[in-house]
């Protein structure tokens, strides 16, 4: 259900006030914490996970255990854990937040109008559509 013009203006005022008051917090909230992984990021995470799995099994199978502790297995587990974190967290949050602030009208005057971002996911496209509708309504 679309918002009425009054609700859209109120939302824009609230958003502008939030960006003016605390732009760092606003970009953090807008960007979200977890991002969907790209195809390349998924392949990297899968490769690291497999490497970690091989190290985990090799650490148990190989006779190299200083202090009777499978150090190689521990390294394998840490690599697997890192691959999972890489997959969940995606790319750098700082770069994404700066891109989000770039296109916002209150962040740089009219710099964001008429300029579309070439990369982005579903939520970025929806935000761009919302902005275009709002700009056309005024």
- Domain positions in the chain are 1-33+94-138, 36-90
Q: Is the pLDDT of residue 126 over 60?
A: yes
Q: Is the pLDDT of residue 17 over 50?
A: yes
Tokens describing residue 20? 């003016």
Predicted confidence at residue 119, as pLDDT, reads 54
Q: Is the pLDDT of residue 134 over 70?
A: yes
Give the single-character DSSP code of 66. Answer: G
Predicted confidence at residue 32, as pLDDT, reads 54
How far is residue 20's CA from residue 13's CA, in Å, rounded to a whole number? Answer: 10
How far is residue 85's CA from residue 50's CA, in Å, rounded to a whole number? Answer: 14
Average the pLDDT over 54-64 and give the result.
89
Predicted confidence at residue 88, as pLDDT, reads 87
Q: Which residues contact 133 (CB under 8 A, 6 or more apart)?
A: none
């Amino acid at each position: 259900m679309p918002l009425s013009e009054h609700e859209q203006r109120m939302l824009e005022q609230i958003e502008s006030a939030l960006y003016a008051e605390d732009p760092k917090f606003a970009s953090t909230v807008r960007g979200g914490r977890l991002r969907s992984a790209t195809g390349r990021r998924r392949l990297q995470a899968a490769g690291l996970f497999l490497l970690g799995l091989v190290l985990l099994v090799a650490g148990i199978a190989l006779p190299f255990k200083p202090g009777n502790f499978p150090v190689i297995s521990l390294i394998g587990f840490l690599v697997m854990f890192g691959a999972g974190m890489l997959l969940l967290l995606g790319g750098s949050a700082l770069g994404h937040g700066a891109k989000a602030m770039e296109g916002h009208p209150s962040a740089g005057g009219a710099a964001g109008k008429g300029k579309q971002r070439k990369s982005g996911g579903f939520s970025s496209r929806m935000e761009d559509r919302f902005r275009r509708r709002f700009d056309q309504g005024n």
